[in-house]
Amino acid sequence: MKNTRYAIVTPAHNEEKFLPQVIEAITRQKILPVRWIIVDDRSTDDTLAVIQKYAARYPFIQALHLSGDTERSLGANVVQVFNAGLAKLDEDVDYIIKMDADLILEPDYFTDMMTRFEADPKLGIGSGKIFIEHGGEWIQERYPDFHVPGACKMYRMACFRDIGGPIIIYGWDILDGTKARMLGWTTCSFRDLSIRHLRMMGSAKGMLRGHIGHGRGMYAVRAHPVFVLARSVYRAVEPPFLSGLLIFFGYIYGWLKGEPRLKDLKLARFLRKEQLGRLLGRKLSQEAFLPRKLNS
């Protein structure tokens, strides 16, 4: 394999429970990263101690501790933490990965991903599919194949430089892929590669907050109002029933509060064009309408 040099940056806030499993999974990768920078984002538990313990054992792991204000701004904070870790990377790599601190990857995950990147020179951002345990089964999160979730993103460095990295705004994980496609790259989350998200699915109350937050994110990225309304209605027929309407409420809330929005109007127009295309069924084959179990 020609391009095998990759680095990972992981923001971690109060992740002492999951980090040991996550780190052990990375150490079992068939091809190890040249550097893994795990950024302790002002944790109040023993996250930093866990990182330092493994950094002493594995030379490719590097601990970075952030101090100061513990207020964590919605959405944009993770990009700032990621950027702080990225600034410490002094190796030349072919790929950079932004990965959360509560994910389990199969031993051949990065080998498979790099094979796909090499097979498609236009693939700019990629990942597997995220699965969450629910009722004793691993269920895939639903999003279209062209969307690469923020929890685990693998960027080709040429694409990463082309898009200028993630935009510091709520909804950044939508915009980076959108900008990559606008610039001629392709983006893909592969259905046959699994990523296990260790956090349990949220309670009904947590889901309600999540819907509102999603709507606020839609406002921040200047999503088309018709698309946001359609998504709200679509989600409203799922349990807890009608809660999906809070997505549109979140969108309106962001507007009423005058929350920060994407300044790149060209990118916003491209995003809206894609969204209207989805409503017209132009990417129907890439949509995920029904839940899928792992290995099904």
| Average pLDDT for the chain | 92
Average pLDDT over residues 80-102: 96
Which position has the token pair 């904070």? 77
What percent of the chain clears pLDDT 90, i.e. is strictly above it?
78
Going by their DSSP bridges, the two strands 137-140 and 95-99 should be labelled as: unpaired
Report yes or no: 10 and 101 within 8 Å, Cβ to Cβ. Answer: yes
Which among 78, 79, 32, 84 is positioned nearest to 58, based on CA atoms?
32
> CA triplet 182, 280, 191: central angle to 5 degrees?
65
Question: Does the structure show a pLDDT above 60 at 70?
Answer: no
Question: Does the structure show a pLDDT above 60 at 205?
Answer: no
Question: Does the structure show a pLDDT above 80 at 275?
Answer: yes
> pLDDT grade, residue 289 (50/70/90)?
confident
Structure tokens at 176: 């980076």
Question: Does the structure show a pLDDT above 70 at 203?
Answer: no
pLDDT tens digits for range 14-42: 999 999 999 999 999 999 999 999 999 99
- CA–CA gap between residue 220 and residue 223 (Å, rounded): 8
Average pLDDT over residues 176-188: 98
> pLDDT grade, residue 72 (50/70/90)?
low
> pLDDT grade, residue 4 (50/70/90)?
confident
- CA–CA gap between residue 247 and residue 264 (Å, rounded): 23
DSSP 54-74: HHHH-TTEEEEEE-S-----T
Question: Does the structure show a pLDDT above 90 at 75?
Answer: no
Name which residue leads in pLDDT, 202 or 232.
232
Structural domains of the chain, ranges and CATH numbers in brackets: 6-197 (3.90.550.10), 204-278 (no CATH)
What is the distance in angstroms between the CA of the first residue and the CA of the last residue of the chain? 30
- Alpha-helix runs per DSSP H in the chain: 19-27, 47-57, 76-86, 109-119, 157-163, 172-182, 204-220, 225-236, 245-257, 265-279
Q: What is the pLDDT of residue 202?
A: 47
Count CA within 13 A, CB hemisphere, residue 205. 0
Question: Does the structure show a pLDDT above 80 at 143?
Answer: yes
- CA–CA gap between residue 60 and residue 62 (Å, rounded): 6
Query: Helices (H) and strands (E) in the chain — how many of each?
Result: 10, 9
pLDDT tens digits for range 232-256: 998 888 777 888 999 999 999 999 9
Entry field: residues in the chain: 296
Residue 248: burial class (beta carbons within 10 Å; 0-12, 13-18, 19+) = buried
Report yes or no: 123 and 117 within 8 Å, Cβ to Cβ. Answer: yes
> pLDDT grade, residue 145 (50/70/90)?
very high
Helix (H) or strand (E) segment spanning residue 197: strand 186-197
Which residues lie across from 194 on neighbouring strands? 129
Name which residue leads in pLDDT, 4 or 222.
222
Which residues lie across from 97 on neighbouring strands? 8, 154
